[in-house]
């Protein structure tokens, strides 16, 4: 990447933060959070620390989930600046053909600003409901839902509202959200090969579905910190940034964690310490701290999102001093070595078992199940293992290293082909464990295979999920 896009690098001490504090943050993350994938800390516009826990890496994009919303808000800001719409425009004005026959007063009162600030008046998130109604027309489904409260009076985190913002951008520009942002935001910031999931209507999801790299998240945060200016060029109006990141609505009615009850802007959360952030499920963060001239980008696979912010406030925030610190080569080197060696190791265990030779090449026919899994075949060798899972969509082959990661792809999951790393171990003579990391997402999966005589029992686990569910148990017998 050319210097035009590359963020400057600096030692922490030159930017007023000690390397020891960053080391302490990393240690506490690994001891209490466990599943951080990457982070990049910027101070005064310079990267002072960056790290990826292998197999996650700088060149690999990461699924942002709801951090995507902040990019959607930015697109609205750009469209407003171009005179294409106003935040006070009625939502119905963009979609007259999709309006319900009977229009309620609350629906008629809904404005673009209400979509932006999650104050549409709905009593529950609309996303799941619009996905199930009106076939491919999610806009029509959104407009048909009851609006229980007067818009602007009730905060509800509502991903369907973000989808409508994406639909509005596409309506007024004739371009998908991603295509609209490409020359206006992504190209100037050097965000390359961004991908955004689309609905059946061909509209980018808006509320989720964007995937970019860690440094690209950091550049986005730095753009906001710099009030819309990048390399001397005005990208986004300063007035929009002030409006989008300021307190627009209270959100204490539905939030309990302290950093989720500081107020909400336009698809940005207000935080403690006068900070603000875009964030996504399972720990995807773009945290901006204007008072400290600091940006922190994080990707993760976490269940407890507050835990990370608490570590930031407890460890990093107090260390952000007003002036440069004395150089500290020994601690700086210790930090550099620590960052260079970050890794999420594969599970430990035995590389083989007396059963491996007996079971290699065997296929287990699986009893009927909701996952439509019909058969699992195991092939064990000294060089690596192969597990083939057959279901209604075909065969899915996993080649795994022995207590080591092996790169590959899988078609097992609904989102389509995904790059993964896979490792296999024996935790007991009769138990084989296959671990798969989908390293462009927050997720990793574990298949625990227990063998007894000619019977196989498989328990599947996932590190994080939106809905807690009992692990599906599969039972099979040798063909």
pLDDT at 5: 72
Buried b (16+ CB within 10 A) or exposed e, 52-91: bbebbeeebbbbbbbbbbbbbbbbbbbbbbeebbebebeb
pLDDT at 153: 97
Q: What is the band of 466 on the pLDDT scale with cuts at 50, 70, 90? A: confident
Mean pLDDT value of segment 230-248: 98
> Does residue 296 register a pLDDT over 70?
yes
> Does residue 17 register a pLDDT over 70?
yes
> Does residue 158 register a pLDDT over 80?
yes
Partner residues linked to 229 by β-bridges:
234
Query: How far, in Å, CA of 275 to CA of 295, rounded?
Result: 10
* From 59-73, 207-221, 324-338, 412-426, the region with the lowest mean pLDDT: 412-426
Q: Which residue has the higher pLDDT, 2 or 136?
A: 136
Mean pLDDT value of segment 346-372: 95
- Structural domains of the chain ordered from first start: 8-340 (3.40.710.10), 354-478 (2.40.128.20)
pLDDT at 70: 98
pLDDT at 255: 65
- Identify the three-state secondary structure at position 298: strand
Partner residues linked to 475 by β-bridges:
457
> Does residue 62 register a pLDDT over 80?
yes
Question: What value does the mean pLDDT of the chain take?
Answer: 95
* 341-351 pLDDT, tens digit each: 999 999 999 99
pLDDT at 6: 82
Question: pTM to 2 decimals?
Answer: 0.96
Mean pLDDT value of segment 322-333: 97
Q: Angle formed by the axes of helices 329-340 and 19-28, to 10°? A: 30
Assess contact for 24 and 315: CB atoms under 8 A. Answer: yes
* 446-460 pLDDT, tens digit each: 999 999 999 999 999
Q: Which residues have a Cβ under 8 Å from the Cβ of 227 and sit 6 or more positions away?
A: 238, 241, 242
Q: What is the band of 120 on the pLDDT scale with cuts at 50, 70, 90? A: very high
Query: How far, in Å, CA of 111 to CA of 93, rounded?
Result: 9
> Does residue 469 register a pLDDT over 90?
no
């Amino acid at each position: 990447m050319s210097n035009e896009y590359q963020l400057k690098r600096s030692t922490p001490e030159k930017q007023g933060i000690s390397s020891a504090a960053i080391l302490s943050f990393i240690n506490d993350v690994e001891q209490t959070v466990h599943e951080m994938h990457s982070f990049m800390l910027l101070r005064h516009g310079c990267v002072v620390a960056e790290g990826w826990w292998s197999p996650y890496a700088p060149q690999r994009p990461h699924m942002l989930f709801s951090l995507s919303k902040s990019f959607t808000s930015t697109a609205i800001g750009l469209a407003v600046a171009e005179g294409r719409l106003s935040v006070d425009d009625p939502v119905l004005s963009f979609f007259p053909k999709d309006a319900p026959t009977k229009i309620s007063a609350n629906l008629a009162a809904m404005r673009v600003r209400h979509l932006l600030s999650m104050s549409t008046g709905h009593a529950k998130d609309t996303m799941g409901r619009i996905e199930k109604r009106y076939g491919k027309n999610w806009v029509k489904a959104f407009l048909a839902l009851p609006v229980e409260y007067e818009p602007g009076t009730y905060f509800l985190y509502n991903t369907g509202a973000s989808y409508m913002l994406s639909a509005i951008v596409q309506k007024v520009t004739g371009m998908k959200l991603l295509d609209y942002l490409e020359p206006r935001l992504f190209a100037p910031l050097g965000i390359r090969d961004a991908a955004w999931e689309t609905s059946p209507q061909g509209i980018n999801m808006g509320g989720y579905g964007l995937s970019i790299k860690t440094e690209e998240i950091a550049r986005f945060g730095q753009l906001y910190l710099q009030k819309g200016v990048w390399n001397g060029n005005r990208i986004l109006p300063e007035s929009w940034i002030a409006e989008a990141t300021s307190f627009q609505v209270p959100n204490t009615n539905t939030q309990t964690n302290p950093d989720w009850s500081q107020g909400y802007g336009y698809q940005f959360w207000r935080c403690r310490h006068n900070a603000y952030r875009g964030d996504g499920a399972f720990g995807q963060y773009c945290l901006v701290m204007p008072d400290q001239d600091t940006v922190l980008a994080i990707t993760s696979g976490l269940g407890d999102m507050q835990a990370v912010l608490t570590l930031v406030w407890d460890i990093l925030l107090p260390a952000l001093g007003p002036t440069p610190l004395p150089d500290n080569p020994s601690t700086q080197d210790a930090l550099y070595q620590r960052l260079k060696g970050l890794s999420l190791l594969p599970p430990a265990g035995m590389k083989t078992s007396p059963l491996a030779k007996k079971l290699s090449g065997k296929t287990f026919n699986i009893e009927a199940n909701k996952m439509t899994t019909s058969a699992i075949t195991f092939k064990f060798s000294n060089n690596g293992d192969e597990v083939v899972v057959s279901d209604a969509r075909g065969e899915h082959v996993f080649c795994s290293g022995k207590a080591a990661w092996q790169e590959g792809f899988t078609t097992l999951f609904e989102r389509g082909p995904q790059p993964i790393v896979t490792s296999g171990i024996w935790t007991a003579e009769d138990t084989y464990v296959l671990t798969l990391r989908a390293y462009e997402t927050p997720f990793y999966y574990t298949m625990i295979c227990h063998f007894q005589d000619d019977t196989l029992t498989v328990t599947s686990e996932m590190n994080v999920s939106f809905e807690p569910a009992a692990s599906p148990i599969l039972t099979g017998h040798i063909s």
